[in-house]
């Protein structure tokens, strides 16, 4: 099995290594985003929101120490809001602080997602480039090689053309699927952040009133 895959890979020529490099980088980017979204940003926004609102309205002794345990953008924005609220800052300053923090924190969620779409395009185009190179090799062999060598050179050129195209698509399709999946996830996280922060700030306004 491994030997047949290696033979198939080698038949594709040098462009296969370029596509393999693109694949490796795409895997690294996807792994980074999965870890960030599903480990670092893993939380229940509704539960967190209810806990903060409980502290704000019932003056719980717990206060907001639990916010310091999180490092995700949601926790940072909420920590900014409650820090200013606890310091007695007016609501305008609380909202300004949240907006300033969001400028720094929200790009962390969208970071590197667009690369997956780029890698899909690169893999496809490099595969097509390998296809053209393979076809050129095939036609060149018909014009310059000896009759006994033409069949072997023609087969090698066609193998390079087909293998690079196939490998490019094998890499590109998962990249596009991952891009769509992770893009939807990051949009969901941003929506949760917006909804939670707005509700908490509105609760602060009610408490201050």
| pTM for the structure as a whole | 0.84
What is the Cα–Cα distance from 121 to 129, expressed in whole angstroms?
12
49 pLDDT tier (thresholds 50, 70, 90)? confident
> Tell me, what's the pLDDT at 97?
92
Domain parsing of the chain, residue ranges: 11-208
Averaged over 19-36, what is the pLDDT? Answer: 96
Averaged over 51-69, what is the pLDDT? Answer: 74
Angle 131-171-32 (CA atoms, 0-180°, nearest 5)?
145
> Tell me, what's the pLDDT at 18?
95
Token pair recorded at residue 208:
């201050």
Does the pLDDT at position 60 exceed 60?
no
Query: Is residue 167 within a helix (H) or strand (E), and if so which, with residue range?
Result: helix 147-208
- CA 27 to each of CA 154, 166, 202: distance values in angstroms, whole numbers, following the listed order: 34, 18, 41
């Amino acid at each position: 099995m491994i030997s047949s895959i290696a033979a198939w890979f080698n038949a594709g020529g040098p462009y296969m290594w370029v596509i393999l490099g693109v694949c490796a980088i795409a895997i690294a980017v996807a792994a980074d985003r999965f870890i960030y979204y599903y480990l670092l940003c893993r939380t229940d926004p509704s539960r967190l929101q209810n806990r903060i609102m409980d502290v704000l309205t019932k003056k719980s002794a717990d206060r907001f120490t639990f916010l310091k345990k999180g490092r995700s953008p949601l926790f940072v924005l909420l920590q900014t809001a409650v820090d200013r609220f606890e310091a007695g800052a007016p609501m305008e300053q609380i909202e300004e602080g949240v907006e300033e923090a969001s400028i720094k924190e929200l790009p962390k969620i969208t970071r590197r997602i667009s690369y997956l779409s780029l890698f899909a395009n690169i893999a496809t185009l490099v595969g097509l480039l390998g296809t053209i190179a393979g076809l050129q090799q095939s036609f060149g062999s018909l014009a310059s090689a000896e009759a006994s060598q033409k069949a072997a050179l023609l087969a090698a050129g066609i193998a390079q053309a087909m293998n690079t195209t196939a490998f490019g698509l094998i890499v590109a399709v998962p990249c596009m699927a991952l891009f769509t999946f992770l893009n939807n996830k990051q949009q969901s996280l941003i929506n949760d952040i917006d909804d939670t922060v707005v509700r908490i700030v509105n609760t602060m306004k009610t408490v201050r009133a």
